[in-house]
């Protein structure tokens, strides 16, 4: 739907040029238009109706995805979004990290619809990784608007991974183009806390080029990691970096969970770091390191279960 909407907007802007050959065939009474003019009006009306219908359907998609995001938030899972220039290797990296089988091709716009998969981090924490549409240079405002239902997944993410093809001769220009699109979406690329730069396709670099890149990234102000999605090089380091970033806002919480509520106890072990635990006849007394927002949500959700039978 997003692709069709963008195409229709483009076609509508070029209708007059497409029918100029018929406008030269004017005839009949002076107050009547020629066949070219009539066809332009008909096409413009049909395209306008289809655009209106698509926009309405996309609003339904946006509402559905908003509900899905709310559900993910209730499960207290962090969301990590992959962004980058088209053909930077985002889908290949997505498959490598999540052991999925998303279509990954050496072509422009191989990914048009966002895909979500669970991502296991070294600490045992589970996050959700989102693969998104690739960007291009001079991305028109109309195209950003058409793809808004997809790009909202980026704006709602806890962390954004900017995947770059460092083997491409125009990699620096592609970086600036991607950051420009992120700025259009309201994301400031200078916010190093939310954005991690992933330099992909390092397996295609000559040894000397890789060393130069390592030296340059060592002096970088923001978080940067070198990877090869094809070979898996650097992916473990990337996962550890994600783990650290998501844990930076962690706080210690004390919970008294009824022993029969094994689901809640298991969730704390899966999503946090259990620092201390003591059990009595009825409760597990846990001190857990959790993200501040996750801890507050968990406390609100399970506080009513402090007493047995509640």
Average pLDDT over residues 228-240: 94
**pLDDT tens digits for 193-202?**
588 999 999 9
Starting from the edge strand earliest in sequence, which strands make up the sheet with 250-258, in order? 250-258, 283-291, 273-279
Percentage of the residues of the chain whose pLDDT score is greater than 70: 73
- Give the pLDDT confidence score for residue 238 in this predicted structure: 95
Average pLDDT over residues 35-41: 64
pLDDT greater than 90 at residue 67: no
| pLDDT band with cut points at 50, 70 and 90 for residue 178 | confident
- What average pLDDT does the structure give for the chain? 77
Whole-number Å distance between alpha carbons of 196 and 242: 9
| pLDDT band with cut points at 50, 70 and 90 for residue 239 | very high
Average pLDDT over residues 90-109: 72
pLDDT greater than 60 at residue 106: no
**pLDDT tens digits for 276-298?**
999 999 889 999 888 766 777 77
Q: Write out the two tokens for 170.
A: 């125009």
Cα 106 to Cα 17, 93, 162, 187, distances in angstroms: 34, 13, 18, 28
- Give the pLDDT confidence score for residue 31 in this predicted structure: 45
- Give the pLDDT confidence score for residue 230 in this predicted structure: 92
Average pLDDT over residues 78-85: 87
**pLDDT tens digits for 141-154?**
556 665 666 677 77
Residue 287: Cβ-neighbour burial (10 angstroms; 0-12, 13-18, 19+): middle
pLDDT greater than 60 at residue 103: no
pLDDT greater than 50 at residue 54: yes
**pLDDT tens digits for 123-171?**
877 888 988 777 776 656 556 665 666 677 777 788 899 999 999 999 9
**pLDDT tens digits for 260-277?**
888 888 888 877 778 899
């Amino acid at each position: 739907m997003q692709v069709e909407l963008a195409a229709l907007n483009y076609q509508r802007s070029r209708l007059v040029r497409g029918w100029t050959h018929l406008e030269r065939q004017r005839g009949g009474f002076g107050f009547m238009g020629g066949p070219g003019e009539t066809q332009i009006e008909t096409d413009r009306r049909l395209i306008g109706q289809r655009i209106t219908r698509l926009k309405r359907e996309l609003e339904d998609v946006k509402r559905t995805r908003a509900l899905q995001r709310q559900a993910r938030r209730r499960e207290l899972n962090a969301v990590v979004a992959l962004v980058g220039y088209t053909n930077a290797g985002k889908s290949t990296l997505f498959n490598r990290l999540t052991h999925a089988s998303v279509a990954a091709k050496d072509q422009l716009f191989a990914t048009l619809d966002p895909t979500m998969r669970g991502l296991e981090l070294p600490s045992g924490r589970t996050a959700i990784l989102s693969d998104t549409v690739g960007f291009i240079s001079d991305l028109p405002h109309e195209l950003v608007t058409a793809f808004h239902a997809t790009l909202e997944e980026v704006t709602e993410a806890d962390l954004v991974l900017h995947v770059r093809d460092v083997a491409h001769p125009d990699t620096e220009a592609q970086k600036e183009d991607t950051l420009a699109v992120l700025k259009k979406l309201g994301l400031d690329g200078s916010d190093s806390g939310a954005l991690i730069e992933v330099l992909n396709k390092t397996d295609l670099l000559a040894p000397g080029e890789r060393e130069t890149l390592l030296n340059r990234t060592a002096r970088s102000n923001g978080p940067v990691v070198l990877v090869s999605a094809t070979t898996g090089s650097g992916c473990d380091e990337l996962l550890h970096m994600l783990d650290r970033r998501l844990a930076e806002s962690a706080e210690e919480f004390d919970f008294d969970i009824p022993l029969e509520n094994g689901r809640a106890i298991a969730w704390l072990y899966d999503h946090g770091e259990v620092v201390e635990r003591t059990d009595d006849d009825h409760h597990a007394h846990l001190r857990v390191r959790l993200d501040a927002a996750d801890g507050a949500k968990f406390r609100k959700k399970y506080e009513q279960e402090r007493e047995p039978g509640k």
